[in-house]
Amino acid sequence: MTGAATSPMNAPALLFLRRLFRRKLVLVAALVLLAIVVVALAAPWVSPFDPGAMRVVRRLRPPSPEHWLGTDELGRDVFSRVVYGARASLGIGFSVVLASCLVGTVFGILAGYERRLDGPIMRVVDALMALPDILLAIFLVAVLGASAGNVVLALAIVYTPRVVRVVRASTLVVRELPFVEAARALGVGTPRILAVHILLNVASPILIQATFIFAYAVLAEAGLSFLGAGVPPEIPTWGTMIASGQQYADRAFWTVLYPGLAIVLSALSLQILGDGLRDMLDPKLRKAV
Amino acid sequence: MTQALLAIEDLEVRFGTEDGEVAPVTGVDLRVAPGETVALVGESGSGKSVSSLAVMGLLPRPAGRVAKGRILYRTKAGETIDLAAAPPDRVRRLRGAEIAMIFQEPMTSLNPVLTAGEQIAESVRLHLRLDRRAALRRAQEMLDLVEIPAAAKRLHDYPHQMSGGMRQRVMIALAMACHPRLLIADEPTTALDVTIQAQILALIDRLRRETGMGVLFITHNLGVVAEVADRVAVMYAGRIVETGPVGDLFRHPRHPYTAGLLDSLPARATRGPDGRRHVRAIPGSLGRAAAIRDACAFSPRCERVREECRTTPPPLEAITPGRAARCLFWREM
Amino acid sequence: MSAERLGPASGDPILAVEGLTKRFGRPPAEVRAVEQVSFTVAPGEVVGLVGESGSGKSTIGRLCLRLVDPTGGTIRFEGEDVSGLPERRLKPLRRRAQMIFQDPYASLNPRLRVSGILGEALDAHGLARGRRRERMAELLDLVGLAPEHLDRFPHEFSGGQRQRIGIARALAVEPGLIVADEPVSALDVSVQAQVLNLLQDLRARLNLAMLFISHDLDVVELLCDRVVVLYLGRVMEIGPTAEVVARPRHPYTRALLAASPKADPDAPRIARLLTGDIPSPIAPPSGCVFRTRCPLAVESCAHAVPPMREAGDGHRFACLRDASEMREAA
């Protein structure tokens, strides 16, 4: 039924880039994200003020040529804080993704491949997933103590079960494929089967899951900080900015609007990118285009 | 020659893909008369399935479209309708009422939440305007017709409770419920075991004889073609390369591809000098042959290829009435 | 035992299966996939396993390679009983017995280049150290591909070429036995012919024994020296292929032969000898499993599993009656 629709043979990477450029929205999202990351990395050079410098006389000033996005209740420059906040927020998001994907992949593959481990692992996963994400995170931060490291740890614990589920489901499919059987027939050891045959073929669902977790983690960090169960307020993150600015929101909307926009923009581009990646990496959806 | 039930004329189907437009089917002419079984045979990528989807108006949208040609169908009322140009609504009403289809995997074509009886009854009520009770009675008759044992009981079975062969029978019952005049069967036995395949082929053939419907039978299996077809059209790279009555075509193929395909069959293997049996294989693979426009699309694989074949796209040349080949040198076959 | 007999003598089978049984799951939903199957494969011999769905032919192939653990029976490979060995002691079997698969797409890891696929086979047994690329090029040449194909990914090949890569992978360890699970049934006729010829060449050149699993009798007739006809996990008939095809003694074999379509417009059309469906392997019929569809069945068929009867020349069949009586019945 595929007719003669054979495409010219290309390196997979090239093909991927071409598909990316076909989807304008995904491309835009990727560029927005790239810009945010660049700004976060270049924060000391981009931001006009020290994000912690307080000048109480200039508190709650509206946006002006000097303070592009205005100042907050302690006279700190909102633009500089949003830029520095990107570091913390994205840094926390990235750390959460790294931790939850690493741990989740290991347990997911073990649960999917080794029948004996499936029951115990999945029981823990189900228990963790039965609790609402943010409640579990608040509880964990409350137990561990509020610090950036503990927020990462708490959120990693919250999101790891998602990765385990996705990886386990993919592993269950891949392990039944004949190339895995061929490797067994050749006497290839289980560690290599897991690393080469299973891991490489469940990589794209993990990648997609990672973009979603990144978006969730940025949002959840903001939520935790807003509720006071997150990063201490001295460290500028988008969440702590909204949390401290919210009492002045009626008089000085810019204290919450801009960090809020930053959250929406980065979370939205991540979600779009995640969706786009899923479509591009899924050959069945690809055909429908 | 009797009036054709279905006459495909110069059909071209185009698909939009990420790499631009392709034409998996070009210049296809095909006729099916009432009471006749025409087999459309080809390997994967030949365009046989795309052709049948075009006839049924089921090309995946928006990617696929009929770019050229006509698909003329003669209705019960005696009008001639171009299925490629008629309003989709009109085509939909004909499908199911006058034109029925069966597919390779009946599981995906049957609704998993309806029982066999409910599916047939629903279709009957829609097209024949019967009430519920009459429709169910008709459903049971249909299951009897397709030789399902204990039909009254089977009426209440769901698709997942049936074997593959049984599901295909239900599919056929569903197709036959509205007295179709044309049955399009797309690889209906490919997923079945041979002993079950034999049953289904016999069933389709019996229904054709009893109702006088025309059958367009799409398959890759030459053995099945020899068993069911009156006439055969062989497709390669989106074009019909040879047509003819089944006996003549199998005995005296006039296109090198048809000949090669028949020689590829394990049953026609010959003993080599090493004492072992070998098949005469066609070298190479289809590749991107459908994109070849200024030459014979089969020329890269043809043993008898000559210079002219690489510069002149051959026309489908009539040999005798009802017999044609798309080869410049068919006379030498 | 004589003193000079160190390895298996040339007349000994490379594979001998005795009373092989495999059941999946537990009662009441226990699937009797393979029941009391016995046969042998001599070195260099190609034995066909033929049957329809539920016949257990694929399971038997996997049991012989110990990819599935048997419930009962013995599997002797090159004289050693491998049926109970733990995985770590299966290295010799993994080196000497290989498998090729039906699906040319799913049988190659899409993320590995051809060099990675073949290299894994070599590395698993520490073969061709220091001359890996040379050896891989040799293997590709053996299956009709070129050395430059080594750096490509599976998706860059056609179905037939992928099947050749799968065959090269199996040959990498220089096996004595290959289990071929429907290796040509997913291929188009013209490509199928190429792969069949390749297998025919390889068996002669490498003195390969094969367990050739297929539902296509024409293919089996072409390639196999002997054939085992299976139905619902049991052996119905076994013997030299030419003999079984020419003079089938079991009614099932006869029906199977009659049902397979012939690409010959002069052959009688649509022979239909069997009615009804293949029964479920969860609740197979008592006695002879084929009796529910058998045109020759009599009452005694329900009481006991029919014993194997000799028809001469290694031709045996499990039927109380005889298919030669079937001509009148049909």
Q: Which residues of chain B neighbour A4 with C-beta distances below 8 Å?
A: 22-24, 45, 47, 237-238, 286, 288-291
pLDDT tens for A190-242 read 999 999 999 989 988 898 888 889 888 888 888 888 887 878 877 788 888 88
Q: Out of C101, C110, C125, whose CB is closest to A182?
A: C101
> Does some domain include residue C81?
yes
> Does some domain include residue C7?
no
Position B333 confidence tier, pLDDT thresholds 50, 70, 90? confident
Position A8 confidence tier, pLDDT thresholds 50, 70, 90? very low
C299 token code pair: 């009452």
For residue B20, the model assigns a pLDDT of 78
> What domains lie within chain A, and their CATH numbers?
91-288 (1.10.3720.10)
Q: Which residues of chain C neighbour B197 with C-beta distances below 8 Å?
A: 259, 261
For residue A11, the model assigns a pLDDT of 56
- A179 to chain C: nearest residue by CA? C107
- The mean pLDDT of C32-61, rounded to a whole number, is 95
Position C321 confidence tier, pLDDT thresholds 50, 70, 90? confident
Please report, for residues A13, B105, B184, C115, the alpha-carbon distance to residue B1 in angstroms, rounded to integers and kept in the order given. 57, 35, 22, 60
Q: Which residues of chain C neighbour B279 with C-beta distances below 8 Å?
A: 193, 196-197, 222
Mark out chain A residues that contact chain B at CB-CB < 8 A.
1-8, 18-19, 22, 286, 288-289
Contacts of residues C155-160 at CB distance under 8 Å and 24 or more positions apart, as own/partner, are: C155/C110, C156/A9, C158/B285, C158/B286, C158/B287, C158/C191, C159/B285, C159/C104, C159/C105, C159/C186, C159/C187, C159/C188, C159/C191, C160/B285, C160/C104, C160/C187, C160/C188, C160/C191, C160/C194, C160/C195
**Residue B315 vs residue A289, higher pLDDT:** B315
**Residue A212 vs residue C70, higher pLDDT:** C70
For residue A287, the model assigns a pLDDT of 39
- The mean pLDDT of B269-281, rounded to a whole number, is 84
Q: Is the pLDDT of residue B40 over 80?
A: yes
Per-window interface: C 73-92 vs A, CB < 8 A: 90-91
pLDDT tens for A124-146 read 999 999 888 888 888 888 898 88
Helix, strand, coil % in chain A, rounded to nearest 5: 75, 0, 25
Helix, strand, coil % in chain C, rounded to nearest 5: 35, 20, 45
For residue A221, the model assigns a pLDDT of 86
Which CATH number belongs to the domain containing residue C20 in this structure?
A: 3.40.50.300
- Do residue C94 and residue A200 have CB atoms under 8 angstroms apart? no
- The mean pLDDT of C307-317, rounded to a whole number, is 92
> What domains lie within chain B, and their CATH numbers?
6-229 (3.40.50.300), 239-332 (no CATH)
Q: Is the pLDDT of residue A178 over 60?
A: yes
Query: CB–CB of A148/A231 below 8 Å?
Result: yes
Structurally, chain C folds into a number of domains equal to 1
C105 touches A at CB < 8 Å: no
For residue C244, the model assigns a pLDDT of 95
Q: Out of C196, C263, C276, whose CB is closest to B226?
A: C263
Per-window interface: C 31-70 vs A, CB < 8 A: 62, 65, 67
> Does some domain include residue C8?
no
**Residue B322 vs residue C34, higher pLDDT:** C34
- The mean pLDDT of C307-312, rounded to a whole number, is 91
Element (H, E) at C227: strand C226-231
| Beta-bridge mates of residue B317 | B325
For residue B107, the model assigns a pLDDT of 67
**Which range marks the domain in which residue C60 is found?**
15-329
For residue B162, the tally of other CB atoms under 10 A from its CB is 20
Q: For helices B116-128 and B132-145, give the axis angle rounded to 10 degrees.
A: 120
Q: How do beta strands C46-50 and C226-231 pair?
A: parallel
For residue A7, the model assigns a pLDDT of 39
- The mean pLDDT of A72-78, rounded to a whole number, is 86
pLDDT tens for B183-207 read 999 999 988 888 888 888 999 999 9
Q: Which residues of chain A neighbour B23 with C-beta distances below 8 Å?
A: 4
Position C5 confidence tier, pLDDT thresholds 50, 70, 90? very low
C100 token code pair: 């090729």
Measured between alpha carbons, how far is B55 from B43 in angstroms, rounded to an integer?
19
Query: CB–CB of C278/C54 below 8 Å?
Result: yes
- The mean pLDDT of C98-119, rounded to a whole number, is 94
> Does some domain include residue C5?
no
Closest CA to B71 of B285, B237, B216: B216
Measured between alpha carbons, how far is A203 from B331 in angstroms, rounded to an integer?
57
**Residue A149 vs residue A8, higher pLDDT:** A149
Query: Per DSSP, which regions of A150-222 are E strands?
Result: none
> Does some domain include residue C44?
yes
Position C147 confidence tier, pLDDT thresholds 50, 70, 90? very high
> Does some domain include residue C2?
no
For residue C271, the model assigns a pLDDT of 61
For residue C86, the tally of other CB atoms under 10 A from its CB is 7
Q: Report how far Cα A175 is from the mean position of its chain's Cα atoms.
A: 28
For residue B2, the model assigns a pLDDT of 56
Q: Which residues of chain A neighbour C182 with C-beta distances below 8 Å?
A: none
Position A5 confidence tier, pLDDT thresholds 50, 70, 90? very low
| Residue B62: cis peptide before it, omega within 30 degrees of 0 | yes
Q: Out of C94, C95, C107, whose CB is closest to A178?
A: C107
Mutation for A interface: C66, C88, C120, C153, most A CBs within 10 A: C120
- The mean pLDDT of A164-186, rounded to a whole number, is 95
pLDDT tens for C209-220 read 999 999 999 999
- Do residue B227 and residue C256 have CB atoms under 8 angstroms apart? no
- Do residue A186 and residue C166 have CB atoms under 8 angstroms apart? no
For residue C34, the model assigns a pLDDT of 96
> Does some domain include residue C10?
no
Considering chain B, what percentage of its residues have pLDDT values greater than 90? 49
Say what the ipTM of the complex is.
0.87
> Does some domain include residue C246?
yes
B/C interface, count of CB pairs below 8 Å: 138
- The mean pLDDT of C79-101, rounded to a whole number, is 94
- Do residue A181 and residue C94 have CB atoms under 8 angstroms apart? no
Per-window interface: C 153-212 vs A, CB < 8 A: 153, 156, 166, 169-170, 173
**Residue B18 vs residue C85, higher pLDDT:** C85
For residue A12, the model assigns a pLDDT of 62
Mutation for B interface: C52, C57, C277, most B CBs within 10 A: C277
Measured between alpha carbons, how far is C302 from C286 in angstroms, rounded to an integer?
5
